[in-house]
Structure 1
């Protein structure tokens, strides 16, 4: 495994904002502080070539997790291991092997061209000239950035263009661990698709570990695994298909009759029959009950149309956040 968190906890010191003159005196004289827990005994790992999505409502601890892995923060307890190193020690050998992209923190120099920032990046990471040219051409093509975009000042680029330029810069040193904090936030649907396709291709071709935080439903579908955080704790770690069943295992069977409408009972195999049109019915069942119920329907009625529907990804994620 390339990234490993073992029983990691992290808290921050905070002060309650006073709301009265008496509280203001206590605030300045006594200086009392509160401890806010961001992560509580978090354990998970990311393997080579694996894309893991961190899910959770705002304040769940997702960005704190990325900052611990990047070495920006040190844990209060537990161990963080990235490529065999302890990140907060900031060893140069490790820093050359990780990349970190944050949606609201640009590493491109605002008044220069992306190409100028890339040149500086290559010098900082000791990328030789031939490798730099090859990688720049490769990843610019992967993220569909032509010379006209790379040759304009960063301040003149759209948000989607700027985010793709950010990604190219972080790929130039070909990190083995790539951390992405809401990389598709605020960019258009076409640019989101380009970025997601680039993530999948990069992970597969370089065997890098990708850890992504996102609220975008489409981002979740590219994940090999999903880790759900709630109030600093891991409440789920597994495949996305398992998450769907864990949150909502319901299935809707819709069917339309062929010819004469049979006199169906109001309950079939313990499930209520709902009529949404005069010749169409709905039965709501659990996923594992679908074969039994469908088999029974086909024996008691002539069915013209039949569809089996699972909850949409957006519905499942919305329900998950509501439960958390």
Structure 2
């Protein structure tokens, strides 16, 4: 989820990505640039963060949505050859590594991102075989995933993305729905935040930090925790069948490194949104990090996955 730089709680100058932990060092490239005109050094997901979260993402994604997706892909009218899968904002390619081995049949993945370095990494690290042993090939496209059109999806069998919806605006989600429905193309859009976080043991400041974080997610017209609801309405209004399933991160002592980075990003975004929290947030973060290091903290970060199944078109492949 792209974000502006923020001073971390605790008075340091470490920048954060909302809900995602610190950004990378100066000079690391952006994962996704969503809009033309953003500065070249816009805040970014660091590649290290994407690698750190990949196991938690894989464990969280909703397996229950795969069965209806497989049925639709098997029934695509006029399909010949490999499934054509478009991965929007692919980052380091974790979605492909999770999904391609869970689908049968030959596949051709088209990886979309703004960052050429990450596109290269995603392509090199992409899986080569499907669930049934069929081949998987890949190509990369650099560009603005927030302005995708149905023409760009001509021949697509599936559009997929991970942690993307919540950094789009209402208009951009509408455009995405237009593109998918216009192409008759299913969309599997995973791991969108929904505005609920549970920390055990609880702390009196939890709710205030969470509220400030959610406000930060909604800055400048971004949907943040409202994204899944808005996307579901957008696809349904265009005639698609929509299914939504929870996909929470469940972080315990085994995920301490991820929890630590998530905490820094979560609290840092809250402080950026409401600087008056700084002093209390500094103490809060220090105590939470100590509990995490001692193995005494558990966190559930709630997300939802969305599957949209538009009516197939004659041009679907």
Shared topology, TM-score over 0.5? no
- Ranked by relative contact order (alpha carbons within 8 Å, sequence separation 6 or more), the top structure is 2
Q: Which has the higher Rg, Structure 1 or Structure 2?
A: 1
**TM-score bucket of the superposed structures, by smaller chain:** under 0.3
**TM-score, reference length from structure 2:** 0.26
Structure with a larger share of its residues in strand? 1
